[in-house]
Amino acid sequence: MAVRPSILGIDGPEPLARSLRDAQYIADEGLSTAAYLALALGKPLLLEGAPGVGKTEAAKAIASVLGRELIRLQCYEGIDAAAAMYEWNFPRQMLAIRQAGEGYVNLYADDYLIARPLLLALQEPRARVLLIDEIDRADPEFEAFLLEFLSDFSISIPERGTIRAAEPPVVLLTSNRTRELHEALRRRCVYHWIGYPDPALEAQIVMMRASSVAQETAHRVTAAVNRLRAEPLAKPPGVAETVEWAEAATLLHNQGAAWPAAFARAIGVALKDQDDLAFTAPRLDQLITGAA
Ligand SMILES: Nc1ncnc2c1ncn2[C@@H]1O[C@H](COP(=O)(O)OP(=O)(O)OP(=O)(O)O)[C@@H](O)[C@H]1O
Ligand SMILES: [Mg+2]
């Protein structure tokens, strides 16, 4: 397995974690180790976890640390190879034919080629990080196609020939685990499950992301969120909700609301599901303060 010379400037998981922190991302030891190994071994990094635990943000921070541009392929149900690789600009081709009249026009010139994320990532791989976001939303057929792409990093355009990456791009995949990914795809990657951060770490994230929030508020909010996540909720709050809840409660507090009440009044920032709100309403103050 070839160690990538280009990332040797980062010599280990700890230096990587420090650089990620400079890029506003707090990675625990598990994540920084998996990310470091994926980069060093030249393998894709597959990040799985519940919504809002920081998967996409981790990819952005890694790209920033590497000083590379992030190319993002957002997956969705029904996404196909054309949407992921390239498309011909049909209206523009038609216009060119009309304007050329009897003359010659090369309909397969760059002017008519719309590069989508996978092609973009191959064109200047040294400068890029490819994020394949929410792969679990795509159909299994698309996953099989991706597997092929990840094994040879080339795209064949019948009218133009094969475009191959000089050096494979750094690839990061995320999944919310709405379905199991194919075994063959997993095998190709370094895998890491991102769980909810422990309250102390999450408080650091809150203070890093929301400068208006006092330290005590950050600790209160992460403790409350931790209690909410232990409840059987349909949509437990992610880290983004924690940050916003702390900000929202701080705002109300600055306008005169007292403490537990400020959190309770801003609950719509943390819980965004009517059943969850109804379920927690009778015990909300207890859940917020931790009082028995
Ligand atoms: N470890 C972290 N360090 C700093 N900020 C974080 C961290 N984890 C999460 N965040 C914050 O939480 C927000 C949400 O994270 P992100 O969008 O990456 O979650 P996700 O796992 O991709 O969620 P989804 O599955 O909904 O796409 C980020 O914008 C960031 O502000
Ligand atoms: Mg995401």
pLDDT tens, 201-218? Answer: 999 999 999 999 999 999
CB 168 within 8 A of CB 101: no
Nearest CA to ligand 1 atom 16: 54
Ligand 1 contact via 26 beta carbon (within 6 Å): yes
Instruction: Check whether residue 12 and residue 123 sit in a common domain.
Output: yes
Those residues whose C-beta lies under 8 Å from the C-beta of residue 187, and which sit 6 or more positions away, are: none
Instruction: Check whether residue 114 and residue 59 sit in a common domain.
Output: yes
What tens digit of pLDDT does each residue of 155-204 get?
999 999 999 988 889 999 999 999 999 999 999 999 999 999 999 999 99
Q: How confident is the model at residue 127 (pLDDT cuts 50, 70, 90)?
A: confident
Instruction: Check whether residue 227 and residue 109 sit in a common domain.
Output: no
What tens digit of pLDDT does each residue of 66-84 get?
999 999 999 999 999 999 9
Measured distance CA(26)–CA(19) in Å, rounded: 10
Measured distance CA(84)–CA(136) in Å, rounded: 15
pLDDT exceeds 70 at position 7: no
Instruction: Check whether residue 30 and residue 102 sit in a common domain.
Output: yes
Ligand 1 center from residue 205 Cα (angstroms): 10
Ligand 1 center from residue 52 Cα (angstroms): 5
Ligand 2 center from residue 49 Cα (angstroms): 10
Measured distance CA(234)–CA(118) in Å, rounded: 34
Q: Which residue has the tokens 């200047």?
A: 124
Ligand 1 contact via 209 beta carbon (within 6 Å): yes
Ligand 1 center from residue 292 Cα (angstroms): 31
What per-residue confidence (pLDDT) applies to 102? 87
Q: How confident is the model at residue 124 (pLDDT cuts 50, 70, 90)?
A: confident
Instruction: Check whether residue 175 and residue 264 sit in a common domain.
Output: no
Q: Which residue has the tokens 């650091």?
A: 204
Looking at ligand 1, which atom is closest to the CA of residue 47?
21
Instruction: Check whether residue 172 and residue 209 sit in a common domain.
Output: no
Instruction: Check whether residue 275 and residue 184 sit in a common domain.
Output: no
What letter would DSSP give residue 171? E
Considering only CA atoms, which of 169, 201, 183 is closest in space to residue 66? 169
pLDDT exceeds 90 at position 12: yes
To the nearest 5 percent, what fractions of the chain are helix, strand and coil?
55, 15, 30
Question: What range does the domain containing 217 cover?
Answer: 199-289
Rg (CA), the chain: 23
Instruction: Check whether residue 10 and residue 45 sit in a common domain.
Output: yes
CB 184 within 8 A of CB 212: no
Which amino acid is located at 97 in the chain?
Answer: I
pLDDT exceeds 60 at position 232: yes
Instruction: Check whether residue 152 and residue 236 sit in a common domain.
Output: no
User: Which H or E run contains 193?
Assistant: strand 190-194
Instruction: Check whether residue 50 and residue 180 sit in a common domain.
Output: yes
Task: Name the domain boundary from 166, 194, 222.
Answer: 194
Instruction: Check whether residue 174 and residue 243 sit in a common domain.
Output: no
Instruction: Check whether residue 235 and residue 109 sit in a common domain.
Output: no
Ligand 2 center from residue 63 Cα (angstroms): 15
Looking at ligand 1, which atom is closest to the CA of residue 176?
25
Task: Name the domain boundary from 145, 178, 194.
Answer: 194
Cα dihedral: 263, 267, 269, 271 (round 10) = 140
Best residue for ligand 1 mutational test, from 19, 22, 24, 56 (most atoms within 8 Å of Cβ): 56
Nearest CA to ligand 1 atom 11: 240
CATH label of the domain that carries residue 125 = 3.40.50.300
Ligand 1 contact via 220 beta carbon (within 6 Å): no
Task: Name the domain boundary from 168, 194, 220.
Answer: 194
Nearest CA to ligand 1 atom 9: 54
Q: How many residues does the chain have?
A: 292
Ligand 1 contact via 93 beta carbon (within 6 Å): no
Domain count, the chain: 2
Best residue for ligand 1 mutational test, from 19, 56, 57 (most atoms within 8 Å of Cβ): 57
